Amino acid sequence: MPKAAALMLILLAICGCKSPLSPDLDDLSSAPEEIVISGRAYTLETYLYRDFMPVSPPDGRPLTAIIRVTAVDRNPFPATLEADRIWVIYGGDIWETKLPAGSGSGDPTRQHQLEKVAHDGPKWGPGIYVDVVVRLRESNGKDYLLRASNQYIARTD
């Protein structure tokens, strides 16, 4: 680890500051459910599930989160906007992970959406509700948080 990065981590630990890359629970909980970026509105849709198919372990597979960031105007999703991180919140517990690079849906009727999948989450649920927050990042480096509240974790059998 470079000396500057190590020093930054030590300073953050000493002063109790949070890293700008990891929002705290208050920041995540207060994220809006619709954001406007460059005059365009965006919302977040999710499908969360745990797999209990017969080939799965007896206690099921970890959480999978499918997210779709939707341009409300239904115009093509901008190439300058990326979803790079997800947080799933269950009470005071938070699962945080990176979202894979790349974008879009192969479906030509969904060019207004950015779809991503996160795997290997916690074994919460199924049958519970969580909040989901996604970080959107513009190509100029500006970040936005977008939330979907009370999202159901389904069970596949």
The answer to whether residue 3 sits within a structural domain is no
The answer to whether residue 79 sits within a structural domain is yes
Domain that holds residue 33: 21-156
The answer to whether residue 14 sits within a structural domain is no
The answer to whether residue 15 sits within a structural domain is no
Contact status, residue 114 vs residue 137, Cβ threshold 8 Å: no
* Per-residue confidence (pLDDT) for residue 43, from 0 to 100: 98
* Per-residue confidence (pLDDT) for residue 102, from 0 to 100: 74
The answer to whether residue 9 sits within a structural domain is no
Contact status, residue 12 vs residue 86, Cβ threshold 8 Å: no
The count of structural domains within the chain is 1
The answer to whether residue 102 sits within a structural domain is yes
The answer to whether residue 4 sits within a structural domain is no
**Residue 123 neighbours by CB distance under 10 Å:** 12
pLDDT mean for each 10 residues of the chain (157 residues)? 47 41 89 97 98 89 97 96 97 96 76 96 97 96 97 96
**CATH number reported for the structural domain that contains residue 83 in this entry:** 2.60.40
138: CB partners within 8 A, 6+ apart: 37, 80, 81, 144
The answer to whether residue 132 sits within a structural domain is yes
pTM assigned to the model: 0.84
